[in-house]
């Protein structure tokens, strides 16, 4: 069994580079990276982004370029994880940019255009497998997904 160590640090402890225009310095955790890349102004642990976005940003179960994939917390990944969708490859595969999805020397590093595959039985993006660079393949674990937060403001928050 492949154990992904160090993902619990995915919360919000490191900040983006001030005035960086979306650029962040490594090492970085997933939350400030996703915030800087997507423009979605949410904070807190990654798994909380789904509920925090309610009434502020559009949310759905369908990936779109620029949206943020919100992975729920698990026993091994207590803070959850967020990643920015860069491309929808097919109805069951996307590419994402994200940070801190590795252990060891790669912990806190930014990874670009990494595969994420929907493995849910209903084809609804409720469970995914994520590319793991250390093995140069999709990881063996399935991760529960809350959904996708889109960078558009929700109609509920419009004045």
Q: What are the average pLDDT values for consecutive 10-residue runs of the chain, which has 159 residues?
A: 38 37 79 97 97 97 98 96 98 97 86 97 97 90 97 68
- Torsion of the alpha carbons at 90, 78, 46 and 98, rounded to the nearest 10: -50
CA gap 21, 125 in Å, rounded: 30
Q: What is the dihedral of CA 83, 89, 90, 91, to 10 degrees?
A: 20
pLDDT at residue 115 in the model: 97
Whether residue 29 contacts residue 99, with contact meaning beta carbons closer than 8 Å, is answered with yes
The model's pTM is 0.84
d(CA 144, CA 122) in angstroms, rounded, equals 13
pLDDT at 7: 38
Instruction: Residue 10: count other Cβ atoms within 10 Å of its Cβ.
Output: 29
Give the pLDDT score at 106: 81
Longest Cα separation, the chain = 50
* Backbone phi and psi for residue 94, each to the nearest 5 degrees, phi listed first: -130, 165
Is domain 24-153 classified as CATH 3.40.50.2300? Answer: no
């Amino acid at each position: 069994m492949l154990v992904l160590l160090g993902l619990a640090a995915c919360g919000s402890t490191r900040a983006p580079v001030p005035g960086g225009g979306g650029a962040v310095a490594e090492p970085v955790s997933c939350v400030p990276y996703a915030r800087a890349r997507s423009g979605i102004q949410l904070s807190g642990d990654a798994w909380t982004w789904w509920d925090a976005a309610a009434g502020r940003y559009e949310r759905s179960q369908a990936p779109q370029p620029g949206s943020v994939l919100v992975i729920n917390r698990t026993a091994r990944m207590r803070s959850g994880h967020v990643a920015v969708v860069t491309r929808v490859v097919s109805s069951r595969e996307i590419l994402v940019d994200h940070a801190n999805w590795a252990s060891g020397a790669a912990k806190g590093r930014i990874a670009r255009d990494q595969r994420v595959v929907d493995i849910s039985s209903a084809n609804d993006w409720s469970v995914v497998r994520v590319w793991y660079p250390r093995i140069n393949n999709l990881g063996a674990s399935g991760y529960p997904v809350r959904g996708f937060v889109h960078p558009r403001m929700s109609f509920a928050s419009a004045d």
